[in-house]
Amino acid sequence: MHRHLLAAATIGTAALVVLSAPLSASAHVSLETNTATPGSYDTITFRVPNESATATTNRVTVNLPSDAGLLASVHYVPVAGWTAELVTTTLAKPIVNGDDTTTEAVTQVVFTAFSGSELGDGSLGVFKLFVGPIPKVGKLTLPVEQGYSDGSVISWNGAADSERPAPVLYVEDAPAVDHDADSAPQTTVSDEHAAAASTDGGSDVVARSLGGAGLVLGAIAVVIAIVARRPRAATGATSPTPTPTPPTTKES
């Protein structure tokens, strides 16, 4: 019986390790929602994980299109403990849209952390922009530069299948599948608005992991119950054979 219990416990432990693995996997900078409708005004939410065990994320720079994918209106949602700066650039070639001619536009939004508000090891920051109108294009590529306290900068500007893919907002093109969506680290939220936006994603991963763990523990309990109810083997002792009683005779 002890060997059965040990085997059940070993299986359960291994299963729990597998279920917990996605929570600790590396994640990349991504968009919470990566689709938008042409002509609409939308909130774009960037999820930025800190992937360094020794340095903190203290600067996040979002790069916006300056060509046909230009966003005429750009506003940021304040993040507690961080400053935000809209960087306006004079366009090399003015963009004409009917009677409107655009000669300059916001091409960068720079978030900088105050001391003590940086993103630490295993945490994830949420940064939001309210933009529009969304141009009628296939997709908008939105590269992000992530600055660390040790002076290093990670550029998230690669292709979708690269090690450092750029976040992409799909407008008329079909969105690519984000295989990294469930591997984000535990969310560390910097402000109340970010908390509301990031709760669904983080809770979904935790809920599924806890649910799977519950199934494994339930299975272990069933195995233990079955093993405990198995009849014990005979010890080798035999019951004494009853001695026959001789018949009683009547005297004549």
Q: What are 172-207's pLDDT values in tens digits?
A: 999 887 555 444 433 334 444 444 444 544 445 455
Identify the pLDDT of residue 98. Answer: 78
Look at residue 25 in the predicted model and tell me its pLDDT. Answer: 41
pLDDT at 19 over 50: no
Find the mean pLDDT for residues 39-66. Answer: 96
User: Which residues in the chain belong to E strands, given as ranges?
Assistant: 30-31, 42-49, 57-63, 73-76, 82-97, 100-113, 124-132, 139-141, 144-148, 153-156, 168-170
What is the rounded average pLDDT of the residues 238-243?
A: 53
**pLDDT beyond 80 at 92:** yes
Decide: pTM greater than 0.75: no
In CATH, 26-200 is 2.60.40.2230:
yes
Q: Is the pLDDT of residue 85 over 80?
A: yes
Please give the average per-residue pLDDT across 33-47, as a whole number: 97
Query: What per-residue confidence (pLDDT) applies to 17?
Result: 36
Greatest Cα-to-Cα distance within the chain, rounded to the nearest angstrom:
143
Token pair of 176 as six digits: 């690519």
Q: Which of 63-67, 90-94, 209-213 has the highest mean pLDDT?
A: 63-67
Mean pLDDT across the chain: 76
